[in-house]
Structure 1
Amino acid sequence: MISSRRNLLQSASCGFGYLALSALCQKSLLAESTDSLELKVPPVRPRAKRVIFLCMSGGPAQLDLFDYKPQTGQKKHPGSVYPFRQRGESGQWVSDLLPEISRHADKLCIVNGMHADTGNHAQSFLQLHTGERLRHRPSMGSWVNYGLGTENQNLPGFISLNTSKPSVYSSAFLPPVYEGTPIGTNGESMSKATINNIRGDHLSSAAKRHQLDFIQTLNRQHLQQNQDAEKLEGVIESMELAYRMQSVAPALLDISTESEETLQRYRVGKSLSVGTCKPSDFGRQCLLARRFAEAGVRFIEVNHGSWDQHKNHRRDLEANCEVTDAPIAALLGDLEMRGLLEDTLVVWGGEFGRPGLTPDNGKDESGHNYRGFTFWLAGGGVKAGYTHGKTDDTGSRAVEGQVHFHDLHATILQALGLRHDKLTFNHEGREHRLTGPEGGKVVHEIFS
């Protein structure tokens, strides 16, 4: 079966430039039948149409960014080591490390009561994306794609920028058409990142269409003769999407039409490599996220790694903030100016946070804190200029307004008009959902 699938894909690629999303095409053909990417009506009135997830992997130090804990002088608790100020009319506390994002404080809904189940990077990162810590499960973006379909039939419903972790965009047991399309890998220059095989000029559009029709006829005949290979339907639909993408995706990836002023605001090309902060041209990612959102992509993940600052905490934290601050601010400003923020839910956060710096011997070290950390959201019907939940006086534990990853997932789905307890998929004899068997609760308090 694997050999026949490989031959099928190779025969397609040698002709019309089969660019069917590489992630979609690497799935087994032995599972439930796929549904289509057609636009679906959500069961609940949606506040948002799409999500931009700004994933800061590694554990951002919330005590130095959004959760202000004044220095107490106590040896056991050094507090926030960077100055904070109350910003905007709302008076939200935001660190001086984020001067550009601070200008948008009145747009932010800061959630200071986040908590997770483990302080291990791999497991918590997996739970953030899939709801489970150990097993291979569909990612949040795939669940959203499955529940709502795509607004633009010429583009995938889920795109992941600058990632090398398949858990970020995997559809697992969901039909492969809901898998995310990865563009770029962690540390790769985003100026070179693209969707593989997106261009093919050796045949005319009409000739490509004829060739694809012939291949799809063979695919459907094969499907009729092999009812146990129903996953082939996903490949068939992926190839159709791939064909349609050829007329749209290249233009979206080409940012040369943007003004110089826009490129400057997003800091496109302004990569920084200091300590563990890898050059990634984060500004280009944020600009692409805006363009994909405008074009109707349902779920866009923007990834920035290297927030795992155990040693050289100050140096690496400053570097990460310098890389991400202005592009995120430009994204928020553009979404608002273009009338997109009201129905785009922007989510910022990582797999956990960090405690205060280790005070002993003046070491510049910080560890992991999964018991209390920060996310923020903007747009998509959430309360603007609002802080939800709090940690204790040392920032070590969420004590009010606690929000688990399951609750965050349930809330994001609710914003999109999806009920987390009803968005299910039958796999191996039982119903699965993003919020897992434990379930989650919608944080209604953060909605306006």
Structure 2
Amino acid sequence: MHPDFLANLQRVTRRQLFGKSLHGVGLAALASMMKVGQAPAATSGMTSPVGGAMRGLPNLPHYPAKAKSVICLWQGGGPSHLDLFDYKPVLTKMAGQDIPESVRGTTRLSTMSASYKKWPITPAIKPFKKCGQSGTEISTLLPYTSQIADDICVVRSMNTEAVNHAPGVTFFMTGAQVPGRPSMGAWATYGLGCEADDLPGFVVMTSSDKGKTCGQLFFDYYWGSGFLPSRYQGVRFRGVGDPVPYIANPPGTSRQGRRELLDDLQALNAAHLADYGDPEIDTRISQYEMAFKMQGSVPDLLDFSTEPKHIINMYGPDALIKGTYANNCLIARRLIERGVRFVQLMHAGWDQHGNLFTQLEGQCKDTDQPSAALVADLKQRGLLDDTLVVWGGEFGRTPFGQGDPAKPAGRDHFGRAYSMWLAGGGVKPGSTFGETDDFAWNITKDPVHIHDMQATILHLMGINHEALTFKYQGRQYRLTDVHGHVMKGMLA
């Protein structure tokens, strides 16, 4: 029987039994027959009221993990795989011609291009080159990523049903296009807990391209806990002001005074938890304690005075500018060093509908060096072996141009085939996985659906994606819903 069900039985108190008699004596009798006697915190992945590292479920990991931590480098808006990672010389030879109907088929497109009468082929805007000993073809728009070609696995056969941004991001992060499900980081910390005892298990940071292109909104449910206890939701570090609101003491309040206040609150909440067994009370206890600890850990985390100058230079000129993608990448490495389980960086600006030829290069300049530096930095510190880095967006871009058919200026959303890359954490380095046809329209080998990628990420973390479930509204839910296969060809 699932441990969450046992934990719920354990939380039924005498007060609840008589106060909520709809459940009747049968539930109490069942709990008695099952002889459940262990403390609820141990079976539900919660910490004790006095704090400490967040524990995971008792039966996880299901097998030895390759990746202890994950850093998701989310490129919001849909990076153009045709211009970055999936070189197609046929597009250059046939530039301006319509993509054949036999290739297009009945592919679902966004409303912006579904009614087009012309489908002008638009080749990559910059040359590609073979990189590293692996010979992986990468655009010259990404000179720094080219330097880590032998450390990454480029997946060229991603596919999704989503054709718009918010559903696409929600699909990757939560396993459903409709908001409400737990995010991947929440599932990971629910199942595995966290090694850090003074930082959250799941941290989120956002950045944008400074208004140069169309940016997408970042909704809280991209890192939410859904129907899991709210303690598993991502904690967002802000790029302006205090990184985490309300953790600083009010003027005139000493740290000792705050400690005494929290101790009193903790005792009251612990009594309330014993009476009612509400997991959100446990969340309140743990989060008060975490906020107190973060008063000491966050300033240390963000003190870059100990970082050698050559390391800061690796991440680029924006490395010490708060709120930038480069700064967030540097913080991500420091979070991993301190035992954080899941770090999610979300960067907006890859939605080039009408400014592909003017803004894609600028977007690459903002993100290419920091992304590659993060992988190289983790590697030189011996952290890449057990840290999985995932780079990608919600979909790719169309092989045909958008705008004036005679002179297209951009590309529309395209989810039928697109690219991502992964590094470290048990992924096969210096490799490519999956193939598309000459037009990068249809997948011809090793398709990787969103659910397959989720299953593979969890597998690398030592989790059987079919076994990590949570009962909600009468059924067991999981990140991959009822789908997903581990892509073993991507694994080292």
Q: Could you state the TM-score of these two structures normalised by the residue count of structure 2?
A: 0.78
The answer as to whether partners of 1:271 and 1:280 remain within 8 angstroms in 2 is: no
Task: Tell me, yes or no, if structure 1 residue 241 matches structure 2 residue 241.
Answer: no
Q: Cα offset for 1:299? A: 0.3
SS in 2 for 1:231: helix
SS in 2 for 1:361: coil
Residue 46 to residue 79, structure 1, CA distance change in 2 (3 Å): same
Q: Cα offset for 1:390? A: 1.0
1:364 to 380, 388, 409: 409
Distance between the aligned counterparts of 2:306 and 2:170, measured in 1?
Answer: 37
Per-residue CA distance 1:31-52 (angstroms, 9 max, x = gap)? x977332256411111110000
The answer as to whether partners of 1:50 and 1:297 remain within 8 angstroms in 2 is: yes
Q: Residue type matched to 1:177 in 2?
A: R
Task: Tell me, yes or no, if structure 1 residue 387 matches structure 2 residue 439.
Answer: no
Between structure 1 and structure 2, the one with the greater Rg is 2
Q: Cα offset for 1:64? A: 0.6
The answer as to whether partners of 1:194 and 1:253 remain within 8 angstroms in 2 is: no
The answer as to whether partners of 1:151 and 1:297 remain within 8 angstroms in 2 is: yes
Match of 2:462 in 1: 417
Distance between the aligned counterparts of 2:428 and 2:293, measured in 1?
Answer: 38
- What fraction of aligned residue pairs are identical, expressed as a percent? 40
Task: Tell me, yes or no, if structure 1 residue 319 matches structure 2 residue 346.
Answer: no
The answer as to whether partners of 1:72 and 1:78 remain within 8 angstroms in 2 is: no
The answer as to whether partners of 1:142 and 1:158 remain within 8 angstroms in 2 is: yes
Match of 1:344 in 2: 387
Distance between the aligned counterparts of 1:347 and 1:180, measured in 2?
Answer: 17
Distance between the aligned counterparts of 2:268 and 2:341, measured in 1?
Answer: 31
The answer as to whether partners of 1:268 and 1:281 remain within 8 angstroms in 2 is: no
Per-residue CA distance 1:320-367 (angstroms, 9 max, x = gap)? 101001111111111010000111000000000001251821121211
Task: Tell me, yes or no, if structure 1 residue 46 matches structure 2 residue 65.
Answer: yes
Distance between the aligned counterparts of 2:361 and 2:472, measured in 1?
Answer: 45
Per-residue CA distance 1:402-442 (angstroms, 9 max, x = gap)? 00110000000000000000000111111110001x32000
The answer as to whether partners of 2:319 and 2:327 remain within 8 angstroms in 1 is: no
The answer as to whether partners of 1:283 and 1:324 remain within 8 angstroms in 2 is: yes
Residue 202 to residue 260, structure 1, CA distance change in 2 (3 Å): farther
Count of residue pairs the alignment pairs up: 404
Match of 2:17 in 1: none
1:328 to 368, 371, 383: 371
The answer as to whether partners of 2:229 and 2:279 remain within 8 angstroms in 1 is: no
Distance between the aligned counterparts of 1:234 and 1:309, measured in 2?
Answer: 41
Match of 2:310 in 1: 261
The answer as to whether partners of 2:435 and 2:444 remain within 8 angstroms in 1 is: yes
Match of 2:262 in 1: 212
The answer as to whether partners of 2:204 and 2:236 remain within 8 angstroms in 1 is: yes
1:152 to 161, 177, 196: 196
Q: Residue type matched to 2:177 in 1?
A: R
The answer as to whether partners of 2:174 and 2:182 remain within 8 angstroms in 1 is: yes
2:338 to 287, 291, 295: 295
1:283 to 301, 322, 326: 326
Q: Cα offset for 1:250? A: 1.6
The answer as to whether partners of 2:46 and 2:56 remain within 8 angstroms in 1 is: no
Distance between the aligned counterparts of 2:357 and 2:410, measured in 1?
Answer: 9
Q: Cα offset for 1:87? A: 0.4
Task: Tell me, yes or no, if structure 1 residue 85 matches structure 2 residue 129.
Answer: yes
Distance between the aligned counterparts of 1:226 and 1:447, measured in 2?
Answer: 46
The answer as to whether partners of 2:325 and 2:367 remain within 8 angstroms in 1 is: yes
Match of 1:373 in 2: 418
The answer as to whether partners of 1:313 and 1:364 remain within 8 angstroms in 2 is: yes
Distance between the aligned counterparts of 2:333 and 2:356, measured in 1?
Answer: 31
Q: Could you state the TM-score of these two structures normalised by the residue count of structure 1?
A: 0.86
Q: Name structure 1 gaps, 5 residues minimum.
A: 1-31, 185-189, 273-278
Task: Tell me, yes or no, if structure 1 residue 433 matches structure 2 residue 433.
Answer: no
Task: Tell me, yes or no, if structure 1 residue 128 matches structure 2 residue 172.
Answer: yes
Q: Residue type matched to 1:410 in 2?
A: A
Q: Cα offset for 1:233? A: 1.6
Match of 2:150 in 1: 106
SS in 2 for 1:247: helix
The answer as to whether partners of 2:66 and 2:425 remain within 8 angstroms in 1 is: yes
Task: Tell me, yes or no, if structure 1 residue 168 matches structure 2 residue 185.
Answer: no
Distance between the aligned counterparts of 2:479 and 2:70, measured in 1?
Answer: 16
Task: Tell me, yes or no, if structure 1 residue 67 matches structure 2 residue 86.
Answer: yes
SS in 1 for 2:414: coil
Residue 320 to residue 262, structure 1, CA distance change in 2 (3 Å): same
Residue 271 to residue 356, structure 1, CA distance change in 2 (3 Å): farther
Q: Cα offset for 1:193? A: 5.5
The answer as to whether partners of 1:271 and 1:323 remain within 8 angstroms in 2 is: no
Q: Cα offset for 1:211? A: 1.5
Distance between the aligned counterparts of 1:225 and 1:256, measured in 2?
Answer: 48
Distance between the aligned counterparts of 2:122 and 2:484, measured in 1?
Answer: 34
The answer as to whether partners of 1:55 and 1:301 remain within 8 angstroms in 2 is: yes
Distance between the aligned counterparts of 1:232 and 1:367, measured in 2?
Answer: 46
Distance between the aligned counterparts of 1:168 and 1:410, measured in 2?
Answer: 18
